[in-house]
């Protein structure tokens, strides 16, 4: 078994690079036929439920450990495995599948007996639909228990094998005194196969991107029935699933109800902007230019993101989540113009010298690196562990709610360093609290582990790539030393509506002792509207574009124009230079 074979066997597997074993099963309903029922109705019956299963195990390599290094602890850890133990886990999964079928077989029979249709064809179609929905539910329940129970069966196998070999004492949880101490546990970054020397970089599609607060959105074509639409979709690694906005469909003259999948239960989802209940859509055909994307499953839920007044227009008609991103290696390239490239994931590499981090998807869909630690500058150990990578968040760095007390410790001016197993991803950082609007009961920022979220303010300093199928995120070496863009001018502004449909950029604060104090002396006061920055109408800019200029992306000085009772006035503002290029 290889990582590529896991993609084929189970496309929904979140972390195929971590899989050491896999149980593949095929279950079918034999002899399904329609029989006459009450006058004018048809019922169904089936002869047999048949299931075939096969255990696949990864070959010898970096994924496995030596039994001599077994810790003898009674509870499983995440890294230790031998090939024999992987086979044991696969067999345990097969047994659990047999048990699940045995428990649920009566429920299937009852559901089939309830079918009553006006024709043979309708009865058979209903029977197949009932079987498919039943099987989907059984598989979901089985997947929910198989990992933990199969892992426990595997761990008991190790305990017994280690006792027989004299490595562990008969009393579980203790190691023989004369056995050499266990080496430090490796991380998944060390265990997964190293990237190739000669990178394979086969581009299957490329799209220009629009940046919203540093976040990437691309235009997709979507087809269903005789309808063809083009919409803007945000690429959001903070979402497990891909979404389509019913409000957008309605605005295009499409009744969203027509796209709802019959009999499908609502699904609770969360993404970087919020959470709620979504409805499953019928399969959709999606493409970039002439390339048909493999993603057809979407959920229907409104995604009112980045609406005016802070932005010149609404951002997105939907979200492309991790279920979409896993199909490719996805390269994000900032600049003018920004772009997103989708490449074949098989053999993808940027070379052995390029920096990369191991990333994994949690069951919630969050994309995390467990070996990343956020520490105060000069701190030798400790810190906040676990980075959550969020391409749908414009923040630089957010401490999750349980860790907010760390912001109050030490000097308010102290900076932080983000270390991912020796790769310094950022330094002189200042974490912030998460946006209160995203702190609902299902929000990932309520989690203690991972302890913080990294947004596009830090991740988007330069090009990067998500290669989720192979468990990697590639970084740009030149970007690691760049500081995130930050407005240090002392001029704080925000967009507000002057009228129902007319927005203006108003001054919120002019910090004393900052370069903005020169504007205060020139007559600019809080509440006044700014009309131009560097000669550009602020009506044509978004909040993020304004902040970029005030952070020095366009040069060390920005010309500010504002309205006065006596006409327009222009004055320079010193902002420093923080170019991304």
- Domain containing residue 220: CATH number: 2.40.70.10
Mean per-residue pLDDT for 401-426? 83
pLDDT band at 581 (very low <50, low <70, confident <90, very high): very low
71 and 160 co-located in one domain: yes
Any domain includes 581: no
Structure tokens at 567: 């006409």
Any domain includes 438: yes
149 and 17 co-located in one domain: yes
397 and 502 co-located in one domain: no
pLDDT of 294 > 90? The answer is no
Any domain includes 360: yes
Q: What is the pTM of this model?
A: 0.84
pLDDT at 413: 58
Beta strands in 12-67 (DSSP E): 21-30, 33-36, 42-45, 48-57
What is the maximum alpha-carbon separation in the chain?
A: 92
Any domain includes 195: no
When mean pLDDT is compared over 282-296, 378-392, 454-468, the highest value belongs to 454-468
**Per-residue b or e along 143-164, where b marks 16 or more CB atoms closer than 10 Å to that residue's CB:** eeebeebbbebbbbbbbebbee
pLDDT band at 273 (very low <50, low <70, confident <90, very high): low
Count structural domains, the chain.
4
Any domain includes 392: yes
pLDDT at 379: 80
Residues 420/387, Cβ–Cβ less than 8 Å: yes
Any domain includes 198: no
235 and 296 co-located in one domain: yes
| CA dist., res. 89 & res. 23, Å (int) | 9
| CA dist., res. 166 & res. 67, Å (int) | 11
520: enclosing H helix or E strand:
helix 517-521
Domain boundary among 295, 314, 343: 343
Any domain includes 247: yes
Domain boundary among 435, 455, 479: 479
pLDDT of 156 > 60? The answer is yes
49 and 106 co-located in one domain: yes
- What is the domain range of residue 335? 203-343
- Position with higher pLDDT, 336 vs 101: 101
Strand-pair category, 356-358 with 215-224: unpaired
Quick: pLDDT tens for 46-101: 999 999 999 999 998 888 988 988 888 888 888 899 999 999 999 999 999 999 99
**Per-residue b or e along 235-264, where b marks 16 or more CB atoms closer than 10 Å to that residue's CB:** bbbbbbbbbbbbebbeeeebebeebbeeee
Domain boundary among 343, 365, 397: 343
**Packing angle between helix 120-164 and helix 83-113, nearest 10 degrees?**
150
Q: Cβ atoms within 10 A of the Cβ of 62, count?
A: 12
Mean per-residue pLDDT for 275-302? 87
Any domain includes 83: yes
261 and 392 co-located in one domain: no
Beta strands in 436-533 (DSSP E): 452-454, 464-467, 472-474, 491-499, 502-510, 529-533
CA distances from 94 to 76, 97, 149, 415 (A): 20, 5, 11, 51
Residues 335/207, Cβ–Cβ less than 8 Å: no
| CA dist., res. 143 & res. 12, Å (int) | 11
Residue with tokens 């997947």: 143
474 and 495 co-located in one domain: no
pLDDT of 170 > 70? The answer is no
pLDDT at 316: 87
Quick: pLDDT tens for 118-149: 999 999 999 999 999 899 889 988 988 898 89
361 and 426 co-located in one domain: yes
């Amino acid at each position: 078994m290889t990582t590529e074979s896991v993609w084929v066997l189970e496309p929904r597997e979140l972390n195929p690079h971590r899989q050491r074993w896999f149980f593949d099963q095929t279950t079918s309903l034999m002899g399904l036929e329609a029989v006459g029922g009450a006058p004018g109705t048809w019922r169904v019956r089936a002869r047999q439920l048949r299931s075939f299963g096969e255990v696949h195990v990864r070959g010898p390599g970096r994924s496995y450990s030596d039994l001599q290094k077994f810790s003898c602890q009674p509870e499983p850890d995440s890294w230790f495995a031998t090939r024999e133990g992987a086979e044991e886990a696969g067999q345990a999964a097969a047994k659990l599948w047999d048990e699940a079928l045995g428990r649920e077989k009566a429920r299937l029979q009852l559901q089939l007996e309830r079918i009553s249709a006006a024709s043979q064809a309708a009865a058979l179609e209903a029977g197949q639909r009932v079987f498919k929905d039943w099987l989907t539910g059984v598989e979901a329940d089985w997947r929910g228990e198989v990992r933990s129970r199969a892992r426990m069966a595997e761990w008991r196998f190790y305990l017994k094998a280690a006792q027989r070999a004299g490595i562990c004492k008969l009393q579980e949880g203790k190691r023989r005194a004369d056995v050499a101490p266990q080496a430090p546990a490796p991380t998944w970054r060390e265990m997964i196969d190293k990237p190739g020397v000669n990178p394979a970089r086969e581009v299957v599609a490329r799209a220009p991107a629009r940046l919203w607060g540093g976040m990437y959105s691309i235009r997709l074509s979507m087809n269903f029935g005789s309808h063809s639409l083009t919409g803007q979709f945000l690429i959001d690694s903070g979402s497990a699933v891909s979404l389509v906005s019913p409000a957008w469909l309605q605005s295009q003259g499409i009744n969203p109800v027509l796209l709802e999948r019959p009999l499908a239960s609502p699904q609770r989802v969360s993404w970087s902007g919020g959470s709620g209940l979504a409805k499953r859509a019928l399969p959709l055909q999606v493409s970039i230019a002439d390339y048909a994307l493999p993603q057809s499953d979407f959920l229907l839920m409104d995604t009112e993101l980045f609406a005016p007044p802070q932005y010149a227009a609404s951002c997105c008609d939907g979200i492309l989540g991790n279920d979409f991103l896993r199909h490719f290696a996805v390269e994000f390239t900032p600049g003018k113009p920004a772009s997103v490239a989708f490449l074949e994931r098989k053999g993808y590499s940027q070379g052995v010298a390029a920096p990369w981090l191991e990333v994994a998807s949690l069951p919630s869909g969050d994309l995390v690196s467990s070996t990343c630690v956020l520490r105060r500058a000069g701190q030798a150990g400790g810190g906040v562990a676990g980075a959550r990578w969020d391409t749908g968040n414009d923040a630089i760095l957010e401490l999750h709610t349980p860790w907010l007390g760390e912001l109050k410790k030490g000097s308010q001016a102290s900076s932080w360093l983000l270390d991912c197993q020796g790769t310094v991803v950022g330094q002189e950082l200042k974490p912030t609290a998460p946006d209160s609007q995203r702190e609902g009961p299902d929000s990932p920022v309520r989690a203690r582990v991972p302890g913080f979220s990294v947004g596009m303010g830090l991740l988007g300093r330069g090009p990067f790539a998500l290669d989720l199928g192979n468990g990697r995120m590639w970084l740009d070496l030149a970007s690691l030393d760049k500081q995130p863009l930050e407005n240090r001018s002392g001029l704080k502004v925000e967009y507000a509506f002057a009228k129902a449909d007319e927005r203006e950029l108003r001054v919120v604060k002019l910090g004393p002792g900052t370069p903005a104090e020169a504007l205060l002396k020139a007559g600019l006061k809080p509440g006044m509207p700014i009309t131009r920055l560097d000669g550009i109408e602020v009506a044509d800019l978004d909040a993020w574009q304004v902040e970029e200029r005030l952070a020095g992306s366009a040069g060390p000085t920005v010309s500010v124009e504002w309205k006065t009772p006596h006409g327009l006035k222009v004055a320079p503002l010193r902002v420093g230079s923080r170019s991304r290029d």
